[in-house]
A = this chain, B = another copy of it.
Amino acid sequence: MADLAKVSEATVSRVLNNVGPIKEETRQRVIDAANELNYAPSALARNFATSKSGNIGVILPYLPKVNMFSTYFFSEILSGIGSMSREFGYDLLLLFRPMDDVLNYYSQLFHTHKVDALIVLGSKEDPIELEALRRLKEEGRHFCLINQHYDGEGFSEVDATHEKGSYEAVTHLIQQGYKEIAFINGPDEYSNSRERSAGYRRALHDHGLEVNQSLLFTGNFGRKSGYAVASSVFARLNEVDAIFASNDRMAIGLHQGLRDLGIPWNQLPGMIGFDDSDIAELTTPTLSSVKVPFFQMGELAAENLLSRLRPSSLGMQDHFRIQLPTELMIRESSLRTDSKEE
């Protein structure tokens, strides 16, 4: 390669990296030679020399449980991350949270140079998880969380306005005339569950309604957990006239459960889900939902992390906290009359 262009390896390196002054003729000779030989520098050697992997890691909850979340959530975020990473010339390393040893795992991803930055999805409050994240921060690593907030830790986070989204959803139900609104939430270990709960309570309170403890349910974001709640809701059907679910999958599970218990589709309680996943408009009636800009959240997470990896980023605040707005998507399931009565 160097020989063919009749220059030293160093010059080749300079041309390929666009660094230092190069005579135009030389540059061309090198490029021609590279094309002729179909030469491409070994990413491995290059990474080794610069001790940077060129990868951005994405942590996913450990496999069997991926489906606890909607795949929509992950697909969108991953697409967003992937889209931005590519613009920065980074590749995307998909990593699954190990069942044990999380503490070392995160840290070693950096130490072994598997990744230059890390995005953690599906993180939830847990002593070990927290400890592992703190360690990353101590070590000055570039990482960020999506859709999860740790209070007072100063982690970088990209989140959405879950409290507000929840407030708006419940308010909408109330305005539609619903008064007894059941709430099926996700586990409290997720900050967004707690925020949605707060929004739910605030909306009830602002409209002079009381929280009815017996109408509060907890699922695990999976469809089945929504389905499982159906019987409890069914038993209280005299006192429940609407349901707010913490994500679409649970809403749909609940919907199915109620249908299976014999409720005709046009006599279902009012329903609103969360996430505005693609399935929201596939149900009958179509499901109102709170839209969360997952794709964009993925993009922003990647963009902020990667731009801080650039040499030119000196002086840039090394820590960021972004909160994107949610949006209430009103469809048939939450409307009192109209299409639901078809």
Binding site for B on A (CB under 8 A): 38, 40-45, 47-48, 51, 53, 55, 60, 63, 66, 71-72, 74-75, 78-79, 82-83, 86, 91-96, 104, 107-108, 111-114, 223, 252, 256, 259, 264-265, 278-279, 281-284, 342
Find chain B residues with CB under 8 A from A282 CB.
Answer: 252, 256, 279, 282-283
Q: How far is the CA of A44 from the CA of B78 in the complex (A)?
A: 24
How many monomers of this chain does the complex have?
2
Whether A43 touches B114, Cβ cut-off 8 Å, given contacts A92-B93, A282-B279, A284-B265, is yes
Find chain B residues with CB under 8 A from A108 CB.
Answer: 40
Q: How far is the CA of A104 from the CA of B34 in the complex (A)?
A: 13
Interface class of chain A by DSSP: helix
Find chain B residues with CB under 8 A from A223 CB.
Answer: 278
Which residue on chain B has the smallest CB distance to residue A53? B44
Find chain B residues with CB under 8 A from A114 CB.
Answer: 43-44, 91
Q: How far is the CA of A48 from the CA of B40 in the complex (A)?
A: 16
User: Could you give 19 example pairs across A and B, Cβ below 8 Å?
Assistant: A40-B104, A42-B112, A42-B113, A44-B47, A44-B51, A60-B82, A63-B82, A63-B86, A66-B75, A71-B75, A75-B75, A91-B93, A91-B114, A92-B94, A92-B95, A252-B282, A256-B282, A279-B282, A283-B284
Find chain B residues with CB under 8 A from A44 CB.
Answer: 44, 47-48, 51, 53, 112-114
Which residue on chain B has the smallest CB distance to residue A46? B112
